[in-house]
Amino acid sequence: MSSNPLESIGQKAKEASRILAQAPTAQKNAALCAISATLKKNSAAILAANEKDVEAAKAKGMADAQLDRLRLTEARLQAMVDGIGVIHALPDPVDRLLESVTRPNGLRIEKRSVPIGTIGIIFESRPNVATDAAALCLKSGNACILRGGSESWHSVSALIDAVQTGLKAANLPAEAVQTLPSAERAHVGDLLTLNAYVDLIIPRGGKGLIARVQAESHIPVLSHLDGICHTYVDAKADPAKAVAVTLNAKMRRTSICGATECLLLQQDIAATLGKDILAALLDAGCEVRVPDSLMALDTRLKKAAASDYGFEFLAPIIAVAVVADVRGAVDFINTHGSQHTDAIITEDTAAADYFLRHVSSAIALHNASTQFADGGEFGKGAEIGIATGKLHARGPVGLEELTTYQYRIHGTGQTRPV
Amino acid sequence: MSSNPLESIGQKAKEASRILAQAPTAQKNAALCAISATLKKNSAAILAANEKDVEAAKAKGMADAQLDRLRLTEARLQAMVDGIGVIHALPDPVDRLLESVTRPNGLRIEKRSVPIGTIGIIFESRPNVATDAAALCLKSGNACILRGGSESWHSVSALIDAVQTGLKAANLPAEAVQTLPSAERAHVGDLLTLNAYVDLIIPRGGKGLIARVQAESHIPVLSHLDGICHTYVDAKADPAKAVAVTLNAKMRRTSICGATECLLLQQDIAATLGKDILAALLDAGCEVRVPDSLMALDTRLKKAAASDYGFEFLAPIIAVAVVADVRGAVDFINTHGSQHTDAIITEDTAAADYFLRHVSSAIALHNASTQFADGGEFGKGAEIGIATGKLHARGPVGLEELTTYQYRIHGTGQTRPV
């Protein structure tokens, strides 16, 4: 057996997970309160640690969108505390009775939610993922091992210090939430082969990270690919809705995964309604990259390159393509998208139905903004991200999605007939 | 891009999966009927193909338990046809409304079941898995690629021929159910890296197969490890129940995954009630392997070796261990078991509750035989096996477990506020 440098971290996490799995709701909630209190108490130290990360990232020439994701402020720290408050208020997802059936032989079969065990979370840039993830795992009875990007090393370490202080204050093991011993990149590989102790890996980041995790992991993966979201404006779209929804889908916040990155226009309305939508985007300060056929519509338009499709800008930039109809739109999305979130704008219910049924995304919307791709907007209260794989959970991953289940069968001495 | 010899099979499966995902229930059921009819029509050819496999396996010295798994008979073929009839009668698991919520902003969020896509199934020995798996995948709208053990090559090929004839008769693509071009072992590796086309791998077999699949697969895996099931007889067990349930759990059928392989006796009743249970097992023709401390109880007992624990006999052999209490039993099971199915026999509800909550198995039973670990006994009608992992599905994997879900959101032009 080759030794894994994270062996001891894994072992401690597994031991902590057994305690957490049986912890009463009140104790888990007490830990969440204590974590919030510690985050506030340690805020100066946390912001100072973050400042180190931001300065180092600036020196390395990090792009503005990424810098914005990395930066913590008093307000963002308060938002993190508020986020923990939301999780505190949510019902405990463990030990829910999911199904119950009494069989003709008298066996009572209960299907009950149980924690998954230990979850490894690998994320990039945003340090607030650390407290969100820790709080969600804690409330759902899972231990977790967090690995932020090396650029957020100081921030994440300071945040996890506060989390562990909170855990100890509630008599829960500090090892329920751990981070790695250093920012060394090799530790990602070590974490992915810690299958004796880790039950699930959740990567949150770009295609490079996801691809690496999927290739190297010996542990089941719940992928959180960033969103390459599309809005398709159909021939029978209501013009006012089409303009308002597309503008919101792209421009409300451009740095979130539910932001539309590509606009698909049905060919018959491209030069009419399409022109109005492009003008609205341009007026709002969006860079609009279109195919040759649309270049004449507005002097402010830029020409799209092939690489603009299937690309996540996370910025006020949008790629535009023209498609023949809803079938063409679905084919385009299933080829270029990331199975995250895609929308159709139309008053044609048959086209909407076709779109919702055939698009392979976790979230398919009719006449609504892709920016609704968010656990809070689904009524889940909080999420660890939007899962883009097909197994276990798709779309927003909240507390319930961080549990699995066990069958518990109550008998009175039943034997199975031959 | 290195070329995968299964590329074309994967591509065809993915195309077929898109058709299958949208196929109406009536068409899928018509295909199931046609498959049953073809299996009956082709029965002589199928049994002849199976005879080839059995003869070759005998020549290689295959053990009796394995030979029994491999062998097809008229009766077993009829049981396979009956199995397809059961799946025919089950409700279509696709497009079920799993949850529905209307948000304060008027968005109606529906969570609906959808097929997973294409499923690769790798199984050993039992050729009947081929038709079970094909029928379950078909009814749940999934394409599948089946890879039986090389020892069942002729049997599985003959069965898949019949399945494809049935699919074509119902105007569904024959490529919805495919097998590999040869029994070559390297093809397992090829299938495990077909991630562009295959969404899920289900291995059904022993530890060697599962370990290989988990190590090599670039595709999510739903493991079906064979069952290393335990029955724990507590100090407060009802003697009559303990004898009857243990006997049934071990001896009803010894070659199924739900058969108990290890009996745990609470130390205070080992020499009393334990003695009676061991005598009942011995009387029924079971070989009973015990620790030194129990050897004096009966002259027919054999001495257990360390390797008898955590071992799947699939034969009338049982290992016996003595534990201090329910905590010791749970620790033993969580160390030596396969997270499949484990039972406690007791009249002490606190001990039963502790056992059901702490044992990490997919199925935990109180006062009932581990042989109830079966989709049919759960009311699922049919199963592809018992999943022993923690993600997506645990325990019996039937039609519902072969689906995933998609969020479909119905709006009227909603935009997300800033």
pLDDT digits (tens, 9 = 90+) for B20-62: 999 999 999 999 999 999 999 999 999 999 999 999 999 999 9
* Helix (H), strand (E) at residue B76: helix B74-89
Q: Which residue has 């945040």 as its token pair?
A: A159
Contacts of B365 in chain A (CB under 8 A): 408-409, 411
Q: Which residue of A has its CA nearest to B193?
A: A215
Q: Are A167 and A304 part of one and the same domain?
A: no
Q: Which residue of A has its CA nearest to B356?
A: A408
CATH code, domain with B275? 3.40.309.10
B218: contact with A, CB 8 A cutoff: yes
Per-residue confidence (pLDDT) for residue B2, from 0 to 100: 60
What is chain A's alpha carbon radius of gyration, rounded to the nearest angstrom? 24
Q: Are A242 and A152 part of one and the same domain?
A: no
pLDDT tens per residue, range B259-308: 999 999 999 999 999 999 999 999 999 999 999 999 999 999 999 999 99
Structure token pair of residue B368: 């009932």
Between A124-133, A264-273, B136-145, B193-202, the lowest mean confidence (pLDDT) is in A124-133
CATH code, domain with B187? 3.40.605.10
Sign of the CA dihedral running B155, B157, B158, B164: positive
Q: Provide the percentage of residues in chain B whose pLDDT is more than 90.
A: 85
Contact A378 B22 (CB under 8 A): no
Q: Which residue of A has its CA nearest to B254?
A: A418
Tell me if A6 sits within 8 A of A180, measured CB to CB: yes
Per-residue confidence (pLDDT) for residue B223, from 0 to 100: 80
Confidence check: pLDDT of B73 > 60: yes
Please spell the DSSP secondary structure of A381-410, one letter per residue.
Answer: S--S-EE-SSSS--EE--TGGGEEEEEEEE
**CA-to-CA distance for A224 and A99, rounded, in angstroms?**
28
Structure token pair of residue B44: 């002589």
Q: Can you give the pTM of this predicted structure?
A: 0.92
The verdict on residue A146 lying in a domain is yes
**CA-to-CA distance for A294 and A276, rounded, in angstroms?**
12
The verdict on residue A170 lying in a domain is yes
Return residues 46-105 of B near A (CB < 8 Å): 101, 103
Other C-beta atoms within 10 Å of B315: how many?
Answer: 15
- Across chain B, mean pLDDT equals 95
Structural domain that includes position A253: 229-372
The verdict on residue B391 lying in a domain is no
- pLDDT bracket for residue A1 (50, 70, 90): very low
Q: What ipTM, to 2 d.p.?
A: 0.92
* Helix (H), strand (E) at residue B150: none
- Across chain A, mean pLDDT equals 95
Q: Which residue has 């096996």 as its token pair?
A: B385
Nearest-CA neighbor of B357 among A157, A207, A170, A410? A410
Contact B409 A364 (CB under 8 A): yes
The verdict on residue B2 lying in a domain is no
Q: Are B46 and B172 part of one and the same domain?
A: yes
- List the single best residue of A344, A391, A400 to mutate versus B (max B Cβ within 10 A): A391
Contact B248 A416 (CB under 8 A): yes
Q: Are A72 and A203 part of one and the same domain?
A: yes
Q: Which residue of B has its CA nearest to A409?
A: B365
The verdict on residue B302 lying in a domain is yes
Across the A/B interface, how many CB contacts are shorter than 8 Å?
191
Q: Are B206 and B318 part of one and the same domain?
A: no
User: Pairing relation of β-strands B108-115 and B403-414?
Assistant: antiparallel
Q: Are A91 and A175 part of one and the same domain?
A: yes
| Domain count within chain A | 2
Nearest-CA neighbor of B153 among B13, B52, B6, B38? B52
Range B65-98 burial, b when 16+ CB lie within 10 A, else e: ebbebbbbeeeebeebbebbeebbebebbbbeee
Contact A392 B391 (CB under 8 A): yes
**3-state secondary structure at position A168:** helix
pLDDT tens per residue, range B329-385: 999 999 999 999 999 999 999 999 999 999 999 999 999 999 999 998 998 878 888
Contacts of B368 in chain A (CB under 8 A): 107, 409-415
Return residues 18-37 of A near B (CB < 8 Å): 22
Confidence check: pLDDT of A2 > 70: no
A212: contact with B, CB 8 A cutoff: no
Contacts of A361 in chain B (CB under 8 A): 406
The verdict on residue A344 lying in a domain is yes
Q: Are B369 and B403 part of one and the same domain?
A: no
Q: Are A213 and A233 part of one and the same domain?
A: no
Return residues 325-384 of B near A (CB < 8 Å): 356-358, 361-369, 371-372, 374, 377-379
Q: Are A106 and A199 part of one and the same domain?
A: yes
Confidence check: pLDDT of B1 > 60: no
Per-residue confidence (pLDDT) for residue B215, from 0 to 100: 82
Q: Are A16 and A76 part of one and the same domain?
A: yes
The verdict on residue B306 lying in a domain is yes
Tell me if B214 sits within 8 A of B317, measured CB to CB: no
Contacts of A367 in chain B (CB under 8 A): 410-414
Tell me if A35 sits within 8 A of A135, measured CB to CB: yes
The verdict on residue A135 lying in a domain is yes
B413: contact with A, CB 8 A cutoff: yes
Q: What is the mean pLDDT of residues A117-126?
A: 90
**Main-chain phi, psi angles of B354, to 5 degrees:** -60, -45
Q: Are B126 and B211 part of one and the same domain?
A: yes
Contact B362 A406 (CB under 8 A): yes
pLDDT tens per residue, range B105-118: 999 999 999 999 99
Contacts of A101 in chain B (CB under 8 A): 378-379
Sign of the CA dihedral running B366, B316, B257, A219: positive
- pLDDT bracket for residue B225 (50, 70, 90): confident
Q: Are A53 and A178 part of one and the same domain?
A: yes
**Main-chain phi, psi angles of B341, to 5 degrees:** -145, 130
Contact B379 A103 (CB under 8 A): yes
- pLDDT bracket for residue A264 (50, 70, 90): very high
A221: contact with B, CB 8 A cutoff: yes
